[in-house]
A and B are shown apart, each in its own frame.
Chain A
Amino acid sequence: MTTEKKQTLYRVILYTLFAYLPTYILIPVFGYAEDDFASKMSMLLISFSPMLANILTRLITREGKTDLRIAVKRGRQTPLCFVLSLLPIVFCTVGVIVSFCVLKNSKMVFDTLHTMLKSDIVNHVGTFAYTAAFCIPLAFIYFGEEFGWRGYLTPKLCELLPKPAAHIVSGMIWGLWHAPMIANGHNFGKDYDFFPWAGYGVMCLFCICMGVFFTTLTERSGSVLPACIAHSLNNNIYSLVLLLLLAADPALMPESQFALASLGIVPMALCALIVGLLLPQKRRLGADAGKTAEAAS
């Protein structure tokens, strides 16, 4: 292993440690999202811990401000990345509806949708429209995560490993970062077989798929901003559609929250994987063209 790679590995380990410490210490000590000051403030710190880990690692290893991945680069793919970051609006909505259809009677689900739209279309469509729009400025909350995972960890892992392996390792690290929250019933509840290990597994798989998508957006646009928007939409649209449907008909709630959440994320995960892998690799094409030109000369 070259000295450069050793240094990168050291940075990855240090970064992971800094990102994990608040989550793995503060949640067991102060509890998860409880109604006291310490718990709530620790949640605030946790949501920005990957960003702080990025800054701390750069300071300690004297890496400086290179490749911060904040400013959007000018290019033909940048607007496309911002458009693609809106995909969760469609696929999270589809995910919730599909999971209800699978776990409950599909006729019941479509009847509920029909009743919702017939009874108060302005309220439901309006709420959906403004929540989707509000997710864009709300993306600053997810900057805390994306600036760390996509802005620092994944590029560093790409220097150490082949790209597919880097995506898997990065997704696993990101997924396991959620472990203390999953152990407290966030995302999947507590009432399922192999609790909490099954939850960790599903979260890691989902994070790998979403990681490929978010990394592609970041690479193509040169900035973590499209990934922040996609992350914000992914987290909020899913909850919104779920709440709207359950408010319209509480009988839709299946017995297992784990099954609902696991099935609901499948369309988005598949879409993320497909888009992440198929988005035109402009740089590679450019590099190939360069090589061809070099060979010809």
Chain B
Amino acid sequence: MLGILYAEWVRYRKWFWIGGAVILLYSVMSFMVFGQWLDPILLQNRGTEYCYEEMFLSEYLSVANSICMSMCLVYFVVTSILALQSIKADERKAWAHFVISTPQCAKSLIDAKYTYTLLLGVAMCVLSYLFETVFSAWYCMPVNVTALYMLLFFVQLLIFAICMPFDVRFGSKLGANVRLILFVAMAFLALVYFLFGDLAIFDDAELFGEKLYNSLLGEGQSKTVTIVMAVLPYLSMAAYGLSYLYSCKAYVKGVAYFDN
């Protein structure tokens, strides 16, 4: 499995560098933009008691939280793209037959794919944690978005758990079509929500980050959000396990759909 993991790294090394550069660029930019936007006097007095006064916090903390949230989303998008890319790799019949002929059959290959995604999810958490820690330390603000990136970790697992079996069973071309149908269905649901749902959160663009933070992680957390947050991790862990078991079984059948 380690060999296949290494092969994944070698194959996508270029994409890792690009992803790393994007992450670094965004991180530095958001760090500097917040520093520029913050009142210079406050910047000099950071760490003093004044910075923990309610007025200061109400004015600046929501923006700081929004920046950390957006950075978590950037890390999530980059690592998700890297994870989804690995799905379509290795679509060669000769390679597939060789993998099937090994003592562990296709299990080692599927193991590597699922471990690779898990590692990318952990990488997303580590990056978010580091950004949050350094940001809150540098600007002396009690920023806390841990729950958000933990939630995103499970969302990433769920997305991969849904997408992977289709690609394994029907090959990446058909799998991509099935994925497209899923995403269109999700977009349709979002459209229905935008037409008939509660859109109060979008009333004021400047307050969007603050409202989103409050409804997800803050005091304004509704029962629905709590239930979703409580159920999603267990659902995605179960889905990931089932998806892995199914992928191990379906790999042999999926080889018939490979082009070359």
Contact = CB atoms under 8 A, between A and B. Distances in A.
B229 A130 contact: yes
Nearest to A139: B122
Given A35-B140, A40-B133, A41-B137, A126 B226 contact: yes
A41 B138 CA distance: 9
Interface string B205-233: 00000000000000000010011011101
A123 B229 CA distance: 11
B133 A71 contact: no
B32 to A, nearest CB: 16
Contacts of A40: 133, 136-137
A134 B233 contact: yes
Interface in B225-260: 226-227, 229-231, 233-234, 237
Instruction: Pick from B121, B126, B137 the residue with the most CB of A within 10 Å.
Output: B137
A140 B123 CA distance: 9
A35 B233 contact: no
A44 interface: yes
Interface string A2-27: 00000000000000000000000000
A137 B118 CA distance: 10
Interface in B130-153: 133-134, 136-138, 140, 146-147, 150-151, 153
B256 to A, nearest CB: 29
A37 B138 CA distance: 5
Contacts of B147: 130, 134
A141 to B, nearest CB: 7
Contacts of A123: 223, 226
B229 A41 contact: no
B47 interface: yes
Contacts of B237: 133
A137 B226 contact: no
A122 interface: yes
B60 interface: no
A36 interface: yes
Given A40-B137, A126-B230, A129-B234, A138 B126 contact: no
A239 to B, nearest CB: 13
A105 interface: no
A125 interface: yes
A127 interface: yes
Contact of B154 (A41, A127, A133): A133
Q: Please report whether the interface of chain B is mostly helix, strand, loop or mixed according to DSSP.
A: helix
Interface residues of A, number: 21
A137 B138 contact: no
A71 B137 contact: no
A134 B134 contact: no
B136 A125 contact: no
Contacts of B51: 35
A239 B151 CA distance: 20
A126 B229 contact: yes
A59 B250 CA distance: 44
B174 to A, nearest CB: 32
Interface in A53-70: none
A125 B134 CA distance: 32
B26 interface: no
A133 B235 CA distance: 11
A212 to B, nearest CB: 27
A142 to B, nearest CB: 12
Given A44-B133, A125-B230, A134-B147, 5 more contacts: A129-B231, A133-B237, A134-B146, A137-B150, A138-B150
21 contacts: A35-B51, A35-B140, A37-B137, A40-B133, A71-B2, A122-B223, A123-B223, A123-B226, A126-B226, A130-B229, A130-B230, A133-B154, A133-B230, A133-B234, A133-B237, A134-B151, A136-B233, A137-B122, A137-B125, A137-B153, A137-B154
Interface of B: 2, 47, 51-52, 121-122, 125-126, 129, 133-134, 136-138, 140, 146-147, 150-151, 153-154, 223, 226-227, 229-231, 233-234, 237
